[in-house]
Structure formats: C-alpha cells, structure tokens
Structure 1
Amino acid sequence: MKPNILFIFTDQHRHNVMGCAGHPLVQTPNLDRLAAEGARFSNVWCQSPVCQPSRASVITGQYTEDLGMFGNTGDFDPEWPTVIQAIRDGGFETASIGKTHYHGMPGRETLDAEDAPYDLRRYSSFVGGFGWDYVLEEFDKYVHPSRRLRTPYTDYLAGQGSSLLQDYREQIKSVFRLTPDHWRGETSVLSQEHDLTSFLAREALTWLGEREKDKPFFLKLAFVQPHVPLIDDPDWADYYRDADIPLPNQAPPAATNDAWQRYVDKLNSHSQVRTMSDDFIREGTRHYLGMVSLIDQKIGEILAHLEATGELANTWIIYTCDHGEMLGEHHLWAKQNFYKGAVQLPLIVWPPGGCEARVVEDLVELTDVTATLADVAGVDAPEKCRGSSVLAALDGDDVGREFLRSRIGAYSAIRNAQYRFTLDVDSGTPCELFDLMADPGETTNRVDDIAMRPVVEQLQRRLSS
C-alpha cells in the first residue's frame, strides 16, 4: 500500500521561530525532531503574504496572478484542478481538519446579521469539492466574537455546560479592534484542554482512529494559530512569562519616491506597530511563542499516536504554513509585505523512517510544496502547476529555482539569490530593491540608486514575463 501523508499547515508561522531554525527561546522539540530526521528548507517563499491567495496557490500549484486572487476576498473557483483531487483519485482517503479558507472572509455586517447565524459548517460540501472526503472547517479566532458565528469549535465550547464560549468570545472581542490593541498579547481565559489548537488535534486523532484502514490517508491538519489574536494557553503563557525577548530590528528605510511612500503607508495602516512600546512588542512575542509551542506539543501527540499504531513508519510528514509574521520587525506586525519575516516560510519534509538530516538553502516556493505532495502520493501534479518536487533534496541534490515570486494586492515581488525587488503593478513604478547578500536585514532600499538601475530593469522585466 502507498505511504500515508500527514500535511501539517499552520497560519502565520514565522520561518525562524523553531529551535531547529536557531531561535534561542522557543520550545519546539517535535518540529526539531522532524528536522533532525528529515530536510529543513531555509529559503522558502509564499506566493502571497496573506492567507487566502497563498492557500489557493498551495492546492493548485499556481500563482495568484494565474488565479486572479490578490486578497482575502471571494470564494475559490470549484473548477480549479487541485492536488487534493489528484491524491484522492490516486487511492487515498483525504481529510481536512482546521482552517482551509477556501471561502471569502465574512464581513462584520454578515457576522452580526440578525436573520441567521453565519454557520461555517455549511462550507463542508463546498470545501469537499476540492478533493476532501472529510472536512472539519474552522476559521480565524478573531471572527468568533460574533454571537452569530457558528463553527465546530464554538459548538464544542457551548457543549461544555459552562460559560466557556461566552468567556472566550468576550476575550477575543476585547482585542479585535484593528488598533494597536489588535496585536496585544494575552493569556487565554480557557485552559489548554479547551484551546482551539488542542481541539483540532483531538479531532485529528479521532479521525485517524476511526477511519477505514483499507486505504492510505492524506490528512491535512491546518492549525489556526499562531495567527493573531496573540492569545496563548495558560500553561505556555506561564512558561514564557519571564522570557527575555530580544527586540527586532525596528528601523524601516525612509521612502524616497511616491510609489514607495504609498506602499509604506499601506503597511502602516495595516499593523500600526509604530505606536507600540518595546514592552508591548516583547509581550506579544511571548504569547506568540506560546502558541507555536502548543502547536508543537500537539504535533508530538499526533506522532505518538502514529508510532503506537505502527503507521509512522509508513507516513510522510510535511510541515509548512501560508505566510510569516513580522513580530515588530521594521515597525510592522503580521504580514502583507515582502520583508523576509512576512514572506518566508518554515518547511520540513520528513520521509517514513527519517533520513540523514539536511538543511536545504535552495530557493523554493510554496508551489513546489504542491508538486512535492503529488510526488509523495505517486500522482501527477495539477496540469497548470508551476512548482517542482523538492524530494530530490533529501538525497542531497539541487532543487532550487533561480527566482521566487509573490503578490499582494497591487504589489508584486521577485527575488533571486542576491536581490529582492518590489513593483507597484498599477503604476509600473519600482518600490523596493534590497541586496540580500550585503544587507540581509533589508534596511537599505536601493531602488533609486543609479548604480542599481540595470538590476532594477532586469528584475522588472523578469517579474513582468
């Protein structure tokens, strides 16, 4: 029988917030184990530094430009061929547990509507149409404050026979303001047992235990965290309470042209981190680390289950996410920009039984994960997939590409081994050029440097091709 595939997909996990990636504080022993027995890729770009377009790319293998999706709006097109369909047709039992975000984000006017609750469970058949046999759909925690939103998780909390759901909603509501409070770190009013991450892990364990064993499985376990709000469970909050958090580089380059200024203004309007104190950033980071550590803890429980059932020896594990997190770097929080913190991803590939540990520095895109999933399953990638499998890297072979691309709204970016370039697509005006070798912290924008004009022109032509 073909090997199983466990695809663990998180939301907004900064690429270097893992012990195996050199973070000095975060506790991630299970991700570290997978990296020590597999391949960790250190130069992976997402196709968009925002949730929905990036997730569209990973199931189709296409760029956001191909799909016409540049933000968190609209539903995925049911006509898109996906790698999930190919895997299911290849004989796998497929399941999606957690956040898919194949549907548009509900607006607050929808969530607060009086006529009917916004019932996320109704999306199961829609999501299933992309290739999933089983769907348990969840969404970002910050939409839960509405009394009108219903999800499997809110049903679970409501069924506990206490005020858990109300307490939870009130806490989320207190930080969902789209002001600096939106990034405030807090300890959850819920115990670890009732945390959304714990709930999703239990649902995954239940599905693994109850599924039919006559087929290999393809399980996508999509944790909603460490996406904002920055609220972690009390156990991990206590662990990191006194952690000495180093402050990130907070010196954004000054804009030198109108197109760049518009870009910078857009970034600032999203995160507003310029108004935050150093202590505010440190506290938010502590709670972010707590969310990552709880995810890692639950990954350990999944691994233990697979070991106990004997299935781990016949299971591929691929870990990645949709985009990164700035954590206060460059005076920014969250994503929606092309700095390394927002656009670079963690990626670990663990083959059944493990392999010699490798750190792969080749340039890789999220579309390559699409092709890798197909390769692992022994099926063809979707016809229009732009990615290439990275499995050869496990044997030490080169799998890198020359250029990486990403897009958000009216801005596109491209990078190669040395440079990262951003273009205002609407006006055709260059916004950013960073020499990543001379300036890995991306602190000096050279887009208006006359000496760099040939580089700007070359990358702009490549981006437009």
Structure 2
Amino acid sequence: MKPNILFLFADQHRHDILGCAGHPLVQTPHLDAIASEGVRFTKTWCQSPICQPSRASVITGRYAHEIGVIHNTGGFDPEWPTVMKQLQEVGYETATIGKTHYHESYQPPKADGDIDMRSNEGFVKSFGWDYVLEEYDKYLHAARRLSTPYTDHLSEHGMLDEYRAQIKGAFRLTPEHWSGQTSVLPQELDLTSFLADEANQWLRQRSVEKPFMLKLGFVQPHVPLISDPVWSEYYADADVQVPVLNPAQASNEHWGEYLSLLAEHSQAQMMDHDSVRAGIRQYFGMVSLVDQKVGEVLATLDELGQLDNTWIIYTSDHGEMLGDHKLWAKMNFYHGSVQVPLIMRPPGGVLHREEDALVELTDVTATIADIGGAEAPAGGHGESLLPAIERPIVGREFVHSRIGDFAGIRNASHRLTMKVKNEVACELFNMIDDPGELVNLVNEQSEKESVNDLSEQLRIHLAN
C-alpha cells in the first residue's frame, strides 16, 4: 500500500523557535524527535507572510500573484488544481482537521448574527478534501451566537462564555494582545488539544482500505498570545532574551508608509523589555502545547500500527516577529516573518541531517504529490524535496514571497523587497554579513549591482 501522509501545519510558527533549531529555552521534544529521524530544512520561505495567500500557494504549488490571492481577502477558487485532488485520483483518502482559511470572499461575521461556520465545510471539501472539520482563529470565536465545532465543545463543558470574554479582552491593538496572558481554560480544553483529539478520533475510526493524507492544521501559535495554564506556568520565570528593539529602517517614502502601518499594528510605542518578554513566554507555551499534541497523534499512529508507513511533514504558513525590529506578527520579509520551520521524516526514519539549501513551501506541495505517486498540480512551480532525504540538494537560486503591493526575493547572499506597483526597491540586506537584518543597504552605491540584479529577477518572476 502507498504510504500515509501526516501533514502537520501550524499557524505563525517562527522557524527558530524549536529545540532542534538550537533554541535554548523552548521545549519541543516530539518535533525534535521527528527531526532526529529525518531532515530539517533551515532556509524555507513561505510564499506570503500572511495566512490566506500562503495557504493558497501550499495547496496549489503556485505563487500568490498568479492565483490572485495576495492578502487575507479571499479569492479561493474550487476549480484550482490542488495536491489533494491529485492524491484523490491515485487512491488517497484526504482529511483536514483545523484551520484551512479557504474563503471565496472575506466578510467578517456579524457579531449578533446566527452563523454556523460548518456551512463552509462544503466549500472546503471542493478543494479535494474527503473529510473536513474546520476551525478558525480565536477572534472569530468571540462573536456572539456564532458556532463552530470548538465553540460547541466549550459550551458542552460550560466554558464558552468565560473563554469568549477572555478573547474579547485580548483583541488586536490592546496591550494584553502582545504581552499575553494565561488561558482561562484547562489544558484539555485548549483549541490545540481539541484539534489533536479530533485527529486521533478520525485516525481510529477511519477505514484502513485506503492510504490517507491527513492535514492537521493547528491554529496556534497564532496570536492572541494566550497559552494554557500548564505551559504558561512552566515558562513564567523563563530568562527570555529580548530581541534588539531597533525600529526597521525606512529607505524611502513607499517603505516608510508601510512600516508605519506595521508599527501601528504592533503597538510599537508600548513595547518595552518586560512586555516583550511576557509575550514571548506565552508564545513559547503555545508552541510547546502544539509539540505535546503532535506527540499524542504520533502515539496514536504507533498504537494503530501505522507509524512505520507514514510520512511526517511539519511546517507553518508563516512566522512571527516576536519583537524583532520592534514588530509583532508578520506581513513583512524579515526572516522572523517569512522563514518557516520545515521537517520531513519518512516511514521508519533516516539518519538525521540538516539541509541548508534555499527552498519554498511550493516545494512541499510537489513533495506531497511525489510521496503519493501523483502528478503535481497543474501550473505548480514546486520541486520535490524527496532527494534531500538521502543527500544534499542544490535547492533554489531564488526564493520568493508576496503580500499586497510588496514582493520579496532572496538568494544565497542577499534579500530584497520591492514595491510592485512602482518597481521601487525598498530593502536590501546582506544575509551573510548581517544575518540580523539590521543595516538596510538599498541606497548604498556599493550595492547597486545587487539591487539591480535582484530587482530584475523579481520583475521576471512577477511577469511570469
């Protein structure tokens, strides 16, 4: 039988917040164990540093500008060729549990409207999923009289009102949003726990006649920065290293205007060492709970005798700034935002190694198809990473990302940001000499050749 595929897809997990990535504080023993029997890719770019465009790119293998999804405004088309449809054609049962974020058009739910979000599951199925249990960012749960599987679960346990009150109090652009807080829910009722429980139930109840591709889409460690009481207590006194709180550099008016929006979103004027430390501790707690629940799902596979026939892939849609450059969240091309973790373990495992070549999340799309013996989705640009399981690969000369009217490109030595409409270069960083991305060289005469070369490559990419 073909191998199973467990696709673990976190939301907003920064690439270096992993024990196996060398982080001295965060506890991720289960993800570390997966990496110890597989390959960890150290330079993986998402194709957009925001949720919907990145997710659209992952399921199609195409770039955000090609499919017309460059922000969180919907635009998902059921006619798209997807990797899930390709797997269905070669006999796979496909399931998604957790966040997909697929929408035709984005309309925020009315706070007082009766909305059962399960009504969107048929639309999600049309992209190639046989089974759908859809969940959402916690902000959505705060809407009164809105229901999802998780809000019903909390209602059954008598905790929905208390949970909603906490989420409303931690809405965007409040101090509590970025400094974080401990959840009012016990760990067993956390959204991450709920999704893992649902995945375990699906694995135990499914027919074993077909191989499966299960995407477990964790909603965390996406903000709000609220971790469960167990992990919140664990990290309460953690000696967190504060990032360098130097504001990003505005090289011209185009980039300056955008940086001002990012700073406003991050409430940069309120950021100090204590609040940043507090927020990072809660972020660590959310990451560790994701790791804990990954371990439980792997234990279920082992119990069912399926672990040795299952590929395990872990990644995220984008990263998180965690205070770097006095910014939270994402929506930019600093490595904290655009670079994501990527770990692959084949059935039975292999001798661990780390792959430093440049790769993209579109390559994960092609890899999943390759594992299943399917053709990659038509029009996709991914390159299968299966050769990297056995040996070093060359990787890509350039990796790309896009959000709104800004696009990013990186090669082995430099990273550039361009405003697309005006074709104006806004950022250039030497990633070898300045890995912290502290000195913007875009206006330096000595770097004019690098600016011109990367700008031209980006124009070619966007034109195609």
TM-score by length of 1: 0.97
Q: Could you tell me how far apart the structure 2 residues matched to 1:392 and 1:203 are?
A: 33
Q: Could you tell me how far apart the structure 1 residues matched to 2:175 and 2:404 are?
A: 23
Per the TM alignment, residue 180 of structure 1 is displaced from its structure 2 partner at its CA by: 3.7
Is contact 2:251-2:426 (8 Å) kept? no
* Residue number in structure 2 paired with 1:132: 129
Q: Could you tell me how far apart the structure 1 residues matched to 2:392 and 2:240 are?
A: 37
Percent of pairs identical after alignment? Answer: 57
C-alpha distance after superposition, 1:168-220 (max 9, x if no partner)? 00000001042343223110000001000000000000000000110011100
Opposite residue 226 of structure 2, the aligned amino acid is I
C-alpha distance after superposition, 1:287-328 (max 9, x if no partner)? 100000001000111111111111100000000010000000
* Residue number in structure 2 paired with 1:189: 184
Opposite residue 2 of structure 1, the aligned amino acid is K
Secondary structure of 1:345's aligned partner: strand
Per the TM alignment, residue 452 of structure 1 is displaced from its structure 2 partner at its CA by: 1.0
* Residue number in structure 2 paired with 1:81: 81
The reply on whether 1:380 has 2:375 as its aligned counterpart is yes
* Residue number in structure 1 paired with 2:268: 273
Aligned-residue Cα RMSD (Å) equals: 1.2
Any gaps of 5 or more consecutive residues in structure 1?
none
C-alpha distance after superposition, 1:383-435 (max 9, x if no partner)? 11101011101111314000000001110010000000000112221100001
Flag as ranges the 4+ runs of structure 1 deviating above 6 A. Answer: none
Moved more, 58-67 or 178-187: 178-187
Cα distance change of structure 1 residues 223 and 437 upon mapping to structure 2, 3 Å threshold: same
Is contact 2:248-2:259 (8 Å) kept? no
Q: Please, which of 211, 214, 220 is the counterpart of residue 215 of structure 2?
A: 220
Secondary structure of 2:143's aligned partner: coil
Per the TM alignment, residue 106 of structure 1 is displaced from its structure 2 partner at its CA by: 5.4
Is contact 1:392-1:399 (8 Å) kept? no
Alignment of 1:105-144 (within 5 A): 107-108=107-108, 110-112=109-111, 114=112, 116-144=113-141
Opposite residue 286 of structure 1, the aligned amino acid is R
Q: Could you tell me how far apart the structure 1 residues matched to 2:204 and 2:249 are?
A: 55
The reply on whether 1:334 has 2:333 as its aligned counterpart is no
* Residue number in structure 2 paired with 1:401: 396
Opposite residue 349 of structure 1, the aligned amino acid is M
Secondary structure of 2:416's aligned partner: strand
* Residue number in structure 2 paired with 1:16: 16
Opposite residue 53 of structure 1, the aligned amino acid is P
* Residue number in structure 1 paired with 2:438: 443
C-alpha distance after superposition, 1:123-144 (max 9, x if no partner)? 1110000000000000001221
C-alpha distance after superposition, 1:202-239 (max 9, x if no partner)? 00000000001100111000000000011111011111
Is contact 1:48-1:323 (8 Å) kept? yes
Opposite residue 100 of structure 1, the aligned amino acid is T
Is contact 2:397-2:412 (8 Å) kept? yes
Q: Could you tell me how far apart the structure 2 residues matched to 1:182 and 1:104 are?
A: 29
Is contact 1:11-1:323 (8 Å) kept? yes
Q: Could you tell me how far apart the structure 2 residues matched to 1:177 and 1:50 are?
A: 16
Secondary structure of 2:133's aligned partner: strand
* Residue number in structure 2 paired with 1:208: 203
Q: Could you tell me how far apart the structure 2 residues matched to 1:408 and 1:106 are?
A: 16
Opposite residue 155 of structure 2, the aligned amino acid is A
Moved more, 449-458 or 256-265: 256-265
Is contact 1:197-1:224 (8 Å) kept? yes
Is contact 2:7-2:214 (8 Å) kept? yes
Q: Could you tell me how far apart the structure 1 residues matched to 2:191 and 2:250 are?
A: 40
* Residue number in structure 2 paired with 1:91: 91
TM-score by length of 2: 0.97
Secondary structure of 2:277's aligned partner: helix
Alignment of 1:348-367 (within 5 A): 348-367=343-362
Is contact 2:97-2:216 (8 Å) kept? yes
Any gaps of 5 or more consecutive residues in structure 2?
none
Q: Could you tell me how far apart the structure 1 residues matched to 2:248 and 2:101 are?
A: 33
